[in-house]
Structure 1
Amino acid sequence: MKELIEEFLSYLAGVKNYSYNTLLAYQADLKDFADFCGSLPSEEEAFQKLREYLENLKKKGYNPFSIARKISSLRSFFKFLEAEKGFNISFLLFLESPKLPFRLPKVLSLEEIEKLLNSPDINNPLGYRDRTMLEVLYATGLRVSELVNLKFENLNLELGLVRVLGKGSKERLVPLGDYALKFLKTYLENVRPQLANEKSKNFVFLNRRGAPITRQRFWQIIKDYAKKCGLEDKVTPHVIRHSFATHLLQGGADLRALQMMLGHSSLSTTQIYTHLDYKKLKEVYEKHHPRA
């Protein structure tokens, strides 16, 4: 089974062009299933093994979201086995994902975003870098992996745009906004040269040793600033992305435009943000409906 999983991961990397982090998630899910089964179950045994595996996950206390993700990974793996090895996967028709509770994303208020953005000390190079990264993150709604992988060729400072290579190697253009653009120009002109060396290549954001800053390190930086301004239980990189989307919609942004900026392949994924501000919705109704 180990060899089949390696083949599948190679397919995802080479043909589907999945990101490194996505590949790690698939690898972890499939290894977990392989450890449970010991070997690839036969076509006749597969459905029963899957049911036993999912029951085992529930007993271990896995939440429905984690179980649903593992089921998705397994579905993809077995479909690959069908296409490449002729494995009969008719049993997948009877495999049900758990019903997921509706879960709204957490967002920060405008005041909380201001506190977070103002928390780095911009009088030292690393503080200015951190402020720039936070400004760009909030201005664009990028995923952290997209932010730390930005290179010079991704930036068009004249037009104030950033070109992002997102999930599945899908490319999109996102406006930077005046604040982020101002900080980014100053960082590139005055701060980055103080950090850069032969390790830097053409990556935009660098650590104190001149190498590209990692996703894990920037996550820790955000946690540190969140703690500093009393938001430690509220802030993650994805909360900033959710806040970007919510504040745009509250300001009157079009849902389709937001979908493009976030890099969502389906509008249904973006529509979750329409549930976030019922008060705003009620205000719009009362203002515009003739019998409100």
Structure 2
Amino acid sequence: MKWQNALNDYKYYLKIERGLSNNSIVNYELDVEKLMHYIDANQITISPITIDYEDIQAFIYEVSKQINPRSQSRLISGLRSFFNYLVFEDYRKTNPLDQIESPKTGRKLPDTLSIDDIDNLINAIDLTKEYNGVRIGERNRALLEILYSCGLRVSELTNLKISDLFFDEGFIKVTGKGDKQRFVPIGPNTQKYILIWKDIRAYIDILPDYRDTLFLNNRGKQLTRAMIFTIIKNLAKAINLNKVISPHTFRHSFASHLLENGADLRAIQLMLGHESITTTEIYMHIDKSHLKEVLLKHHPRK
């Protein structure tokens, strides 16, 4: 079995049987391709079936010189999944990653923005700015409002449809990882800015495939992830924000601010679309002063 054949079969398995998103499949594919490139560069004659623990260990050792422990751990996890698939399909008897330990990385707490930071970023948007007759400032305000107010991932934002908006009920339908859907509440203020953008959007010459897509560029196509990163980066620069932020920073801030204001962790989990509440629990570590206030307020022997 050749490497490329094994990788193609694995990608098909991830898509059809596990139902993963294209972004997730690409990440798993990159993990295997790193190993393939190492084998080619070192002219090693070996297949996915015959590669053993020593070969993998040598590869991990070389990679560890170039990437940080967290990325190294992610790579090992991806390769372990690939070889688990080969074992599952009876191409191999054992997984050569079983004896490879991931480096200890600790728990990285997510970066967050203060409410003032978020207000300043949104206020820095030039609402009069037009591009090919499209008032992109109103679009940018709407997408930042929904990122923060609903805690969406950037891919969930770019894929959001007009048919996903249920404003009368106060919800939006979000398609998350693995095409799993959830309903997230949306407040009247955010609804207002989206409706303003919808009115402007109606004047764009929209390509047929994107007529139901909410956030578009001036050419009538779906707004890209990269463009949203650029919008946020430019706004941070405009207000001299001394932080490196991304669309995910708004999602972290959404969860953290809800928790700080007394929201139930289980409710936050459902809104974020986390499969396990242990993922959501990371936000419990951000603001220890909040935990102290909870103790003083609610414990009978404070």
SS at match of 1:172: strand
Q: Provide the residue aligned with 1:142 in structure 2.
A: 152
Q: 2:249 aligns with which of 239, 244, 258?
A: 239
Aligned positions, number: 289
Match of 1:71, as an amino acid? I
Q: 2:114 aligns with which of 93, 109, 114?
A: 109
SS at match of 1:174: strand
SS at match of 2:89: helix
SS at match of 2:182: strand
SS at match of 1:94: coil
Residue 31 (1) aligns with residue 38 (2): no
Q: Provide the residue aligned with 1:68 in structure 2.
A: 73
Residue 94 (1) aligns with residue 99 (2): yes
Offset of 1:223 from its aligned partner?
Answer: 0.8
Q: 2:83 aligns with which of 74, 78, 82?
A: 78
Residue 206 (1) aligns with residue 216 (2): yes
Do the aligned residues in 2 keep the contact of 1:128 with 1:187 (CA within 8 Å)?
A: yes
Q: How does 1:138-177 map to 2 (within 5 A)?
A: 138-177=148-187
Match of 1:9, as an amino acid? K
Offset of 1:261 from its aligned partner?
Answer: 0.6
Q: Provide the residue aligned with 1:254 in structure 2.
A: 264
Structure 2 unaligned spans of 5+: 41-45, 130-134
- In structure 1, distance between residues paired with 2:177 and 2:53: 31
- TM-score, scaled to structure 2: 0.91
Q: 1:129 aligns with which of 139, 143, 146?
A: 139
Structure 1 unaligned spans of 5+: none
- TM-score, scaled to structure 1: 0.94
Offset of 1:75 from its aligned partner?
Answer: 1.0
Identity fraction in percent:
39
Greater shift in the superposed pair: 252-261 or 22-31? 22-31
Q: Provide the residue aligned with 2:23 in structure 1.
A: 21
SS at match of 1:194: coil
Offset of 1:95 from its aligned partner?
Answer: 2.1
Using a 3 Å threshold, how does the CA distance of structure 1 residues 173 and 68 change in structure 2: closer, same or farther? same
- In structure 1, distance between residues paired with 2:240 and 2:22: 33
Do the aligned residues in 1 keep the contact of 2:49 with 2:91 (CA within 8 Å)?
A: no
- In structure 2, distance between residues paired with 1:284 and 1:16: 40
- In structure 1, distance between residues paired with 2:170 and 2:205: 23
Match of 2:6, as an amino acid? L
Q: How does 1:29-68 map to 2 (within 5 A)?
A: 29-38=31-40, 39-40=46-47, 42-43=49-50, 45-60=51-66, 62-68=67-73
Residue 197 (1) aligns with residue 206 (2): yes
Do the aligned residues in 2 keep the contact of 1:122 with 1:128 (CA within 8 Å)?
A: yes
Q: CA RMSD in A?
A: 1.6
Match of 1:40, as an amino acid? S
Match of 2:157, as an amino acid? L
Offset of 1:91 from its aligned partner?
Answer: 4.0
Offset of 1:74 from its aligned partner?
Answer: 0.7
Offset of 1:92 from its aligned partner?
Answer: 3.7
- In structure 2, distance between residues paired with 1:258 and 1:29: 31
